[in-house]
Amino acid sequence: MLVVLSLTAVLAMALPTLQQLSRTAHSAEQLLETLNRELPRTLESLRLTGSELAELGEEVSEGLHSASQVVKQVDHSLSSTRQQARQIHVASRSTWVGLRAAWRTFTAPDPSAQKRSTASKTRDRTATKRISGRQNYVARAHRQPRPSTALPPADAPSPAPESPAIASDSAPDRTPANPPPEN
């Protein structure tokens, strides 16, 4: 009897568990049916989304490539513009220098007249110097020499130089070396 009682207790306990297992199996079956219906459509939309993203990536890379081409063209245009500006600057500066040189040439006095006037001025100065030199020579010849400026005769003994020790010990001599002659 103990066996019968134990079997009855096990069956009483197993009955709700079996009912729960039956309900869980039914829910799992419904989930699998839903997945079978929905999963192919979801996978298809994921595949389409992936291909659209790939197309967008290609378009973005093409856009970036064309943008880099535009940037290169703008850079090239700026470089050529800078070069043209330099050429215009050099040409305008050369033109300006040429115009200034032409203006100076047209407004400058006649160079041959300037050479003639320079040559005549040089001749006049040379003649003036000759005349002045003759007059000075004649005036010096008629002048009598001063005794204080006269040179001593060539055979006269020269005074001995003082040694530096004596010169520094002695008081400075305030008498003139050659006193003027008395009249």
- 30-82 confidence digits (pLDDT tens): 999 998 898 889 899 999 999 999 999 999 999 999 999 999 999 999 999 99
The answer to whether position 80 is within a domain reads yes
The answer to whether position 16 is within a domain reads no
For the chain, what is the mean pLDDT? 77
Higher-pLDDT residue of 26 and 150 is: 26
Least confident of 17-31, 61-75, 165-179: 165-179
Mean pLDDT throughout 106-129? 66
The answer to whether position 43 is within a domain reads no
The answer to whether position 162 is within a domain reads no
The answer to whether position 54 is within a domain reads yes
* pLDDT in the model for residue 39: 87
Distance CA 36, CA 135 (A): 141
The answer to whether position 23 is within a domain reads no
* pLDDT in the model for residue 82: 94
* pLDDT in the model for residue 168: 46
Residues found in the chain: 183
Determine the Cα angle at 89 with ends 84 and 94, to 5°.
125
* pLDDT in the model for residue 167: 46
The answer to whether position 64 is within a domain reads yes
CA terminus-to-terminus distance, the chain: 190
Residue 112 in this model has a pLDDT that exceeds 80: no
Distance CA 90, CA 84 (A): 10
How far, in whole angstroms, is CA 92 from its chain's centroid? 24
Mean pLDDT is highest, among 35-44, 63-72, 114-123, 155-164, for 63-72
Residue 170 in this model has a pLDDT that exceeds 60: no
Is the Cα torsion angle 160, 165, 170, 172 positive or negative in sign? positive
Percent of the chain residues past pLDDT 70, beyond the cut: 60
The answer to whether position 35 is within a domain reads no
Domain ranges, residue 93: 49-107
Higher-pLDDT residue of 103 and 160 is: 103
How many folded domains does the chain comprise? 1
pTM score: 0.36
Determine the Cα angle at 84 with ends 78 and 85, to 5°.
90
Higher-pLDDT residue of 110 and 22 is: 22
